[in-house]
Chains A and B, each alone.
Chain A
Amino acid sequence: MTFGIAMNEQRKDDGIVLTEEQKRARRSRSIAIALSLAALVILFYVVTLVKGPIVLLRPM
C-alpha cells in the first residue's frame, strides 16, 4: 500500500504539468483548429450546393 502511494507520487512528479501560460496557448490553438475545421465543413457543404450534381463528375 505504502509502495503504491509512493509510486503514484512518483508518477505525479514525472508527469508534465502545464503552466497557466501553456494552458492558455493550448486553448487558443484548440479554438483555432476547431474554427478552421468548421470553416472547412461549411466550405464543402456550400460548394456542394453550388456545384450540384456536377460535383460527382471527375474526369481524369
Chain B
Amino acid sequence: MSLISEGANFRGPLTAGAGLVEPSLASVGDYVALMKPRVMSLVVFTALVGLAVAPGSMHPLIGFTALLCIAVGAGAAGALNMWYDADIDAVMTRTARRPVPMGRVQPGEALAFGLTLAAFAVVVLGLLVNQLAAALLAFTIFFYVVIYTVWLKRVTPQNIVIGGAAGAFPPMIGWAAATGSLSLEPVLLFMIIFFWTPPHFWALALYRTEDYARAGIPMLPVVKGDASTRRQILLYTLILVPLGVAPWALGFTGALYGLTAVAAGAIMLVLAWQVLRERRPAERASRHLFAFSILYLFLLFAVLLIERGWGGLIARLAA
C-alpha cells in the first residue's frame, strides 16, 4: 500500500496528515502571505487611529512598538486562520492559491508560525507597552481564531456578525496602548467597525455565493437566500450610518468628520438600497457596495486621524 499514490497532492495537507512531510519549500514570501498583509494593513491603520486620537502623551517609540505588536498579532491570527481553514480555502476560488492549500507551507508549519507570533506579540506588548493592551490583543487573537474560525464560521450564518468583533478591536487596543484604559470613544470606534462588517462581507458573499456553498460555509446568502441577505445589508447599514456620525454628534470630532460621515453614510445607504432592489444574476450593486464600504471605513478613520490624531501625534513627537 503506498500512501503517496493515494494522496491527490503530495505536498498538501492530506499527506501531512498521513505523516508524510517533505522538507519545506516555503519561502519568506509564503510566510508573509500567511499573515494576510492586506488585512493586517487595515488593522494597523485602525489601531493607529485609536492610538493617535487617545488623550495624553506617549513616546513615539512606544507607539511604534504597540503598532508593531498589533500588526504581528493580526498576522498570527491570519496564519492560524489559514492553518485551520486549509480544507475550505482549497475549494474556494478566492483562497485556493494561499500557501497551505497550494502545499507550499505545511499545516503544522502554519500552526507553529501562528502560535509563535501570537505569543511574541502579546508578551512584547505586555512588557514594553502595557498589560491592558496585551490582554485585549490576546483576546482578539483568541476571538478570531477560536470563536470565529474554529466555531462560528462553519456553523451559523451569523458567523461574520459575531466574528466581526475581532476586526473591530484594533482601535480599542491602540487606545488602550496609549492610555492604559478604555472609554466611550474607543467603544464607538469598535461599534463602527462591528456594524460595518456585515454589509461589507455580505455584499461580497452575494456575488460569491456559489464559492461559499461549494466550501460548505453557511454564509447568509447560502442559508437564508438572496432576498433576506439584501434586507439584512440595508438593516445593518441603517444602524451603521448613525453610528458613523455619532463621534461628531457627541462632540468628539469637528465639522470635517461630521460632513464626511454624513456624506459617505448617505452614499452607503443609497448603495445598500440599490443592493436591496437588485436581483440575481445582476451583481453590479453588490460589487459597488463592497468596494465603497472599504472606502467608507477608510475615509471615516482617515478624517478622524487628520482632525483629532494629527495634532496629538505632533504633540507626542514634540513631547
Contacts and interface: CB of A to CB of B under 8 A. Distances in A.
B25 A25 contact: yes
Contacts of A47: 61-62, 65, 128
Contact of B61 (A18, A26, A46): A46
Contact of A21 (B25, B31, B128): B25
B25 A22 contact: yes
* Interface size range on A against B: 10 to 19
Q: Chain B at the A interface: mostly helix, strand, loop or mixed?
A: helix
Contacts, number: 39
Contacts of A22: 23-25
B24 A43 contact: no
B28 A32 contact: yes
Interface in B4-43: 23-28, 31
Given A46-B61, A47-B65, A50-B62, A25 B26 contact: yes
Contacts of B65: 43, 47
A40 interface: yes
Q: Chain A at the B interface: mostly helix, strand, loop or mixed?
A: helix
A42 to B, nearest CB: 11
Contact of B27 (A25, A43, A58): A25
B61 A40 contact: no
B214 interface: no
A29 B112 CA distance: 14
B128 A44 contact: yes
B277 interface: no
Nearest to B130: A58
A60 B59 CA distance: 22
A16 interface: yes
A50 B65 CA distance: 12
A22 B23 CA distance: 7
Given A46-B61, A47-B62, A29 B25 contact: no
B31 A43 contact: no
A32 B118 CA distance: 17
Contacts of B28: 28-29, 32
B124 interface: yes
B24 A25 contact: yes
